[in-house]
Amino acid sequence: MEREEIVSRVRLVVVSVLKHNDFEMRDDLTAKDVDGWDSLSHMTIITEIEKDFGIRFKLKELNKLKNMGTLIELIESKLI
């Protein structure tokens, strides 16, 4: 899957969970930068991403996620 498609689908998940699109999908985007991305929405976003891509993250992988860029890379690595 092309990186662009991954980015687009992740963006759709985030918009669907947070019910707004007031953010820019850039590599250095973090939860703190996005209104409403708190601990409850974080769990939901991760769960919806797993469902959407048919993948499962390991706990160690989740705890190493620094920003949107590392999340996209992780998804890419699981789709190879």
Residues lying near another protein in the complex (CB under 8 A): 17, 31-32, 36, 38-44, 46-47, 57, 59, 62-66
Query: What is the smallest separation between the CB atom of 63 and another protein, expressed in angstroms?
Result: 6
The residue among 4 and 19 lying less far from another protein, judged by its C-beta, is: 19
How far is it, in rounded angstroms, from Cα 49 to Cα 73? Answer: 13
Query: What is the smallest separation between the CB atom of 25 and another protein, expressed in angstroms?
Result: 19
For 77, the token pair is 């690595």
Alpha carbon 60 to chain centroid, angstroms:
16
CB 75 within 8 A of CB 49: yes
Query: What is the smallest separation between the CB atom of 33 and another protein, expressed in angstroms?
Result: 13
The residue among 59 and 80 lying less far from another protein, judged by its C-beta, is: 59
CA distances (Å), origin 37, targets 9, 24, 50, 78, 80: 17, 14, 17, 24, 28
The residue among 22 and 63 lying less far from another protein, judged by its C-beta, is: 63
